[in-house]
Amino acid sequence: MHGFRTLLGKELTRFLKVAVQTVLAPILTSLLYLLIFAHALQDRVQVYEGVGYTAFLVPGLVMMAVLQNAFANSSSSLIQSKITGNIVFILLPPLSHLEIFAAYVLASMVRGLAVGSGVFVVTVWFVSPSFAHPLWIAAFAILGSAILGTMGLLAGIWAEKFDQIAAFQNFIIMPATFLSGVFYSVHSLPDFWLAVSHLNPFFYMVDGFRYGFFGVSDVAPTTSLTVALAALAVVSAITLALLRSGYKLRY
């Protein structure tokens, strides 16, 4: 396991060396979302009975930070290694595809969870937190960061330049995140868009995560957990198959 630990340490060091950019900047962005939306909608929107809009918004912002930063970590690291050519130092050592997969995904999970924790700590100044089901909170935070860390690795394998990573993030990750109910309940949508939202796996991650705070959700948490586990299994199987084959890694 020396190779796995070394690669994991390298990935952790990579984003910690620039923590102002990789950790503090996303926390500030989430804080701005909170200030703007809470100020504009606090007295005008109530999604759940007895839950103010600011309190409703906090879990969504935390999970959004977890998802986006987990994806950014693995995708940016792998594409940077491919473009600069130092990917050879990962491929030449006797590292199995499982070790490479685990190191990249675990490092992404650490970054995603670190940023999400930072966002939550900052929001405590604005709203008193509630923890109806802490284990559900932990389960969906871990699952969400693992899924997006794996998707980032998948995007990094597929992409050949930074523009393709940006396209993947701008046309898939960002829309799926913003349309997952971060800022609203999907039950406020027309029937057609409500049905579309239920096809978005990001919705189930956000909804299940929010259930852990308030004990209420748009769908049953067991349904959200099932969808999240299925999504993790699918993206993991695809990514492991590509790593095993050396697709776009060994030229």
> Would the pLDDT of 8 be above 80?
yes
In a domain, 251, yes or no: no
In a domain, 189, yes or no: yes
Average pLDDT of every residue of the chain: 92
In a domain, 205, yes or no: yes
CA quadruple 138, 197, 227, 96: dihedral positive or negative? negative
| Token pair of 105 as six digits | 């995904």
In a domain, 227, yes or no: yes
| Token pair of 212 as six digits | 């852990």
Q: Per-residue pLDDT tens for 224-251? A: 999 999 999 999 999 999 999 999 987 6
Taking the whole predicted model, whether its pTM rises above 0.85 is answered as: yes
In a domain, 250, yes or no: no
In this prediction, residue 44 has a pLDDT band, given cuts at 50, 70 and 90, of low
Cα(212)–Cα(17) distance, integer angstroms:
33
Residue 85's CB is within 10 A of a number of other CB atoms, namely 8
In a domain, 210, yes or no: yes
In a domain, 53, yes or no: yes
Q: For position 52, what pLDDT does the model report?
A: 81
| Token pair of 129 as six digits | 């937190």
Q: In which domain, by residue range, is 76 found?
A: 2-245
Q: What are phi and psi of 145, to 5 degrees?
A: -65, -35
Domain count, the chain: 1
In a domain, 201, yes or no: yes
Q: Per-residue pLDDT tens for 182-211? A: 888 887 788 888 888 899 999 999 999 999
CA quadruple 186, 189, 192, 196: dihedral positive or negative? negative
